[in-house]
Structures are given as C-alpha cells and as structure tokens.
Amino acid sequence: MDEQTRKELTAWLEFYQELGIEGFYRRKPGAGETQPHFEAAQPAQPAVAPPPKSAAPPMPTRAVPAPEPPKPVAHATLPPAVIRPPSPAFNLFEAPPPPRSGPETLEQIREDLGDCRRCKLAPTRKTIVFGDGNPHAKLVFIGEGPGADEDEQGIPFVGRAGKLLNRMMQTVGLKREDVYICNVVKCRPPGNRTPEKDEVDSCSPFLYRQIEAIKPRLICCLGAPAVRTVLGIKEGITKIRGQFYNFGSTKALATVHPAYILRNPREEKILREDFEKIRDFLKGV
C-alpha cells in the first residue's frame, strides 16, 4: 500500500473509531459495482475488544459521591482526509483488521508484553512483574509498582507490604490464591520512586487489558498512583478512600497502600475497615 493510501485509510479508520465503529468488511463487488466498496460492521463491543495499546483509559464515572457532570469530551479535529470520499484505490483486503474471536487471555497479554523495552524502567529492572493469582478472580488488587523483592522474584506484593496485604486479606477471610494482584507499572522504578507519567502511559494499557481479561467484580486500588491511573482521581487518597467508584461495569474501591500503613502503623484500622467493605461487597456478588 502506498504512503498516501495508508494515510487516508488511517484517517478513515480513526474517524470510524471515533464513532465507535471498529470492524469492517468488504462486500464483494456485485453487478454494476465497479469500485471497491466497504461497509461498517456493527460497532465492536468494548467489552470484547480490549483497548488499543495507545488508548486512553476508560473514563470511569464516580459512584460515590454523586456523579459529577460529565466533562466535555475533547474530540480530535478530524484530518482533512475524512471529509473526502474513499479513494477508488482503497482495497481493504490489503489491511484486514486482526480477527478477534473473543476476549484476550492473560497469557496472550503477557506474550504481547514480551521482554518489554517500552519505557525507561526497562534497563534497571531485573524481572517484569506481570501479575499473579486467579485469572477468573472476582477481586483484583492494583498496587503501584514492584519493589526490590518483587523485582527479584517476579511476583507482586511478596515483600513487607505484601505480607501486610496477605494479613489484611486473611483478616477478612480472603485467600491470596482467589484474587489477582498486579501493579500500575510492571517494572521496578529505581529506588522505589513513584512511577512517572510516561512510564504509566506505556504500561497502563497492559493493566487495562488485564482487567478486561479477568473481568473482576471489584478492583481495589492500593494507593494514589493506582487510584489516579484506574479512576482518574487526583484527590488525596486519605480523602477518597473507602468509597466505591465505577470502572465501566466493574466497581472499584480506593484505599491506602499497605506501605503507607507500614510507615503509619497507627492507621492500620483504616485499611482493615476498607477490607471489611471489600468482604461485604463480595458477599453480595
């Protein structure tokens, strides 16, 4: 396909994607049809198609407190190509969309992540910490990023914060093997610093795909970076913790990171309180 045609095709596909239409097929030219012809298929169900790697996170709406008026969606200015009819040179057979026969599996997502070099965390990490637990979990915990122990072992939450997380789960009768645990970024930030925006932007599409694959009933965001990434909420965690939000059709609870409790042991009761909310929520699903 030549460059011009590729540009025009991209512009058309982006335009249809903005309309929510993601699948295309080409009708075989019939009698009297001399030009290539295409029609839009039914809009792809977002629940089936995982977000494209460059997609913005799904915009959650707050459940509690009362929903804010929706922010105006910034529509990208359409490139000039989209207001022209398709060029007769189009042949969509040259660029068929990859067939999707259902939701992705975690294995497929892990495979796609590969030996990831997408951000500047790659050179200093030892191990990619993809996630751990039940791929059909009703509950997914999302932390910030691997620490030193996780980087060594390739498993999330195995260090001191992980031990506290395990203890909290035990307190409310949850078993680690029943839940799924992952992080906003999959590689350890040097010195355990907070992941930076470009790192989160590179890694979070994999997190969204993991959530989409697992389809949990509840997501528990542990700490501010998870809350910011998953729910788009920038307020302080101690202000918004203990509340349920909507993340698509999944509920999400924001709570403090176990590492915060390790630094402020007197606050442990707030984490316990939030874990009791998780327990009560899961009883009802």
Of the residues 16, 57, 60, 183, which one makes contact with ligand URA according to CB under 6 A: 183
Size of the site for ligand URA (CB under 6 A): 13
* Distance of closest approach, residue 222 Cβ to ligand URA, in angstroms: 6
Q: How far, CA to CA in Å, does 30 sit from each of 26, 27, 39, 261? A: 11, 8, 14, 69
Rg of the chain on CA atoms, in Å: 22
* Nearer of residues 22 and 150 to ligand URA, judged by Cβ: 150
* Nearer of residues 52 and 135 to ligand URA, judged by Cβ: 135
* Distance of closest approach, residue 168 Cβ to ligand URA, in angstroms: 14
* Distance of closest approach, residue 70 Cβ to ligand URA, in angstroms: 31
Give CA–CA dist 206/92, Å, rounded: 28
Classify residue 149 as exposed, middle or buried by CB count within 10 Å of its CB (0-12, 13-18, 19+).
middle
Stretch that binds ligand URA, among 18-26, 67-75, 110-118, 154-162 (CB under 6 A): 154-162
Of the residues 119, 161, 168, 233, which one makes contact with ligand URA according to CB under 6 A: 161
- Residue 156 lies near ligand URA (rule: CB under 6 A): yes
- Residue 150 lies near ligand URA (rule: CB under 6 A): yes
Give CA–CA dist 37/160, Å, rounded: 60
- Residue 199 lies near ligand URA (rule: CB under 6 A): no
* Distance of closest approach, residue 108 Cβ to ligand URA, in angstroms: 22
Give CA–CA dist 259/61, Å, rounded: 28
Rounded to the nearest 5°, which phi and psi values hold at 12? -65, -45
Residues in 251-280 that interact with ligand URA by CB under 6 A: 259
Q: Is the dihedral of CA 100, 217, 177, 188 positive or negative?
A: positive
How wide is the angle at C-alpha 182 spanned by C-alphas 159 and 215, nearest 5°?
150
Other beta carbons within 10 Å of 101 = 5
CB 202 within 8 A of CB 187: no
Please choose, from the candidates 205, 183, 209, the residue with its C-alpha nearest in 3D space to the C-alpha of residue 47. Answer: 209
* Distance of closest approach, residue 161 Cβ to ligand URA, in angstroms: 4
* Distance of closest approach, residue 186 Cβ to ligand URA, in angstroms: 10
Residues in 116-145 that interact with ligand URA by CB under 6 A: 143-145
Residues in 223-252 that interact with ligand URA by CB under 6 A: none
Contacting residues toward ligand URA, per CB under 6 A: 143-147, 150, 156-157, 159, 161-162, 183, 259
